[in-house]
Chains A and B, each alone.
Chain A
């Protein structure tokens, strides 16, 4: 049924598949002509790590950006790197750690492209200190139906802010200039605290997060009662040479992590159920030290523990899973507690539940982060009542003045989206001028009526 170039695409969550035609286009194409010819719509797709339908367009085309992965310019004096949009964070870490540079922001996987990191304005464990990815982007080359435009934060703030977190809808991101972070080693000095409940971890984070560049808490989503929200909090900073000894000093800047194993596609759905997730959570909690100070971990295992297993999304089985991440402002701590309570009560076990604190929002019109608490969950598709449970969570988040993350969204309603993203209309107006025919669109933008 499919022509040679047709691909069945899903996001990393493996739900909501759609067929699109794959396009491999030179980065210096005649973009206005090319985009105008794609009347059934087109979306850019990198490594496909957004969780659901942001990088696919059923019945349309997608541009494979991973073939654009060249370094265009690097200035070791300033750490400013110009690179094509299909290059991954993994590639940057491998190529530049030797010179003493690290990416300024990394999400939980380094297998994301620069284009995707900008379009989703991704964040990492250092948002409370360093903001999100696009806070470190100086310029973006964007292919639009009107031509290729170079966007700079100061010269063209409107379109720059629409593109950062704009889910790829303002144009195809071709390349970008970003400022890398100087580091002395590829190691991270980590403090770990195991806390008994949610209150304990939240107050610890409130009091001490400012001392650390990186901070994240893994939360046991199935613990209830007085243990509700018990967590393992890990915080750290890049290790300096003085922090290292012995083995670590041999090649302090080496960054050559390996994917040890790729999960085979044989797992039936339902292996991750409330029982196994409970057991896993118990084990993870127990194996963590009660308190540990100054442990040296390699950056790859600190930032991207899941990247050790390739295609780990397969362990959820063919039905896939849904990620859900929200942010609520400081002062709305009860929403975090209530949502954990709601999940535990519904036996909706989340395999990986992560809590962190965001710092100030940037100017991105559709950018997710805002000052407050953010909680990320992933739940396997299949348990009854999940859609209604998520709708209830949306209501709690909206009431608190928060929002959900579109890079992970699989199901938010149009009404709720409007309430979560107050600048949506402004964003649409910009699309009306830059992308009036919605040549750039995705299943996500169609589902949400953007």
Chain B
């Protein structure tokens, strides 16, 4: 169950190997966290992650299969993962890959993989999760989106558009669930220093998984639908959205 500060006892992570999801679990372990399911495609890395999570305290961790690219299985896999806990108090949708923009632009298979992993698969899973939460009468979903999806840019449009799709889908669902006990919070971090981004040079205003986790959980507690990390991105993206396309496409970042 969630307490009055939306501190969950049972959490399911889709994309269980995510550094940001781990930082969130790290923070939740200081509160009421009891049971965690880590679901992802690679069982070896998940088991390593699972032992890290159980080291956070007296936490029971299970692993499950979740392959966002396998669209025929995504719904069943997420239902199975969610069935491993008594109630899904919090579902973290953290599945995602960055890809490599310049090489992927000419690679249809790579584009398909990024869009499926980051958008279609998670959207299917979210649909299953919302059904589950309606039945259990409550629950929260944290969606790890990105600033890249809030304003899609030339330099990063494959990843950006996949996150834009997920972001819009989540907010639409949030509207559908408005005033119900099922809550969706969309987190839009800027550049986060994680294993996903380790090959890329750090950029200004970059943030850390810990900061994203703190902001995400605070947003959840306050019932926010959108959380920017850092919060100044809200203004920056507002500006970018109002720039002419001729300027936009020449942006150096």
A interface, CB within 8 angstroms of B? 1-2, 8, 13, 15-20, 52-53, 57-60, 318-320, 322, 381-382, 384, 386-388, 410-411, 413, 443, 446-447
Q: Least Cβ distance of B80 to chain A in Å?
A: 19
Contact A19 B32 (CB under 8 A): no
Contact A58 B181 (CB under 8 A): yes
Known: A1-B134, A8-B179, A8-B181. A16 touches B221 (CB 8 A): no
Give the interface SS of chain B, mostly helix, strand, loop or mixed.
loop
Contact digits for B46-81, partner A, Cβ 8 Å, 1 yes 0 no: 000000000000000000000000000000000000
**Which residues of chain B in 21-39 are interfacial with respect to chain A, using CB atoms and an 8 Å cutoff?**
30-32
User: Which of B2, B138, B222 makes the CB contact (< 8 A) with A19?
Assistant: B138
Contact B181 A381 (CB under 8 A): no
Q: Using Cβ atoms and an 8 Å threshold, which residues of chain B touch A319?
A: 222-223
Contact B7 A446 (CB under 8 A): no
Q: Least Cβ distance of B141 to chain A in Å?
A: 15
How many B residues touch the partner, as a band?
Answer: 20 to 34
Can you name the residue of chain B whose Cβ is closest to the Cβ of A445? Answer: B1
Q: Using Cβ atoms and an 8 Å threshold, which residues of chain A touch B137?
A: 18-20, 57-60
B interface, CB within 8 angstroms of A? 1-7, 9, 30-32, 86-87, 134-138, 177, 179-181, 218, 221-223
Q: Using Cβ atoms and an 8 Å threshold, which residues of chain B touch A320?
A: 4
21 interchain pairs (CB within 8 A)?
Answer: A1-B177, A16-B2, A16-B3, A16-B138, A17-B181, A19-B137, A53-B1, A57-B137, A58-B181, A59-B87, A59-B136, A59-B138, A318-B223, A322-B4, A381-B4, A381-B221, A386-B5, A387-B3, A410-B3, A410-B4, A411-B32
Residue of A8, A13, A17, A52 contacting most chain B CB atoms (<10 Å): A17
Contact A447 B9 (CB under 8 A): yes
Known: A1-B134, A19-B181. A447 touches B1 (CB 8 A): yes
Q: Using Cβ atoms and an 8 Å threshold, which residues of chain B touch A411?
A: 3-5, 7, 32
Can you name the residue of chain A whose Cβ is closest to the Cβ of B5? Answer: A387
Known: A17-B181, A413-B32. A58 touches B136 (CB 8 A): yes
Can you name the residue of chain A whose Cβ is closest to the Cβ of B3? Answer: A411
Q: Least Cβ distance of B66 to chain A in Å?
A: 24
Q: Using Cβ atoms and an 8 Å threshold, which residues of chain A touch B218?
A: 384
Q: Using Cβ atoms and an 8 Å threshold, which residues of chain B touch A8?
A: 179-181
How many Å lie between the Cα of A230 and that of B30 in the bound state? 34
Can you name the residue of chain B whose Cβ is closest to the Cβ of A384? Answer: B218
Q: Using Cβ atoms and an 8 Å threshold, which residues of chain A touch B177?
A: 1
How many Å lie between the Cα of A411 and that of B2 in the bound state? 9
Contact A1 B135 (CB under 8 A): no
Q: Least Cβ distance of B56 to chain A in Å?
A: 15
Q: Using Cβ atoms and an 8 Å threshold, which residues of chain B touch A318?
A: 223
Q: Using Cβ atoms and an 8 Å threshold, which residues of chain A touch B2?
A: 16
Can you name the residue of chain B whose Cβ is closest to the Cβ of A17? Answer: B181
Q: Using Cβ atoms and an 8 Å threshold, which residues of chain A touch B181?
A: 8, 17-19, 58
Q: Using Cβ atoms and an 8 Å threshold, which residues of chain B touch A410?
A: 3-5
How many Å lie between the Cα of A13 and that of B4 in the bound state? 9
Q: Least Cβ distance of A392 to chain B in Å?
A: 12
User: Which of B4, B87, B134 makes the CB contact (< 8 A) with A16?
Assistant: B4
Q: Using Cβ atoms and an 8 Å threshold, which residues of chain B touch A443?
A: 1, 138
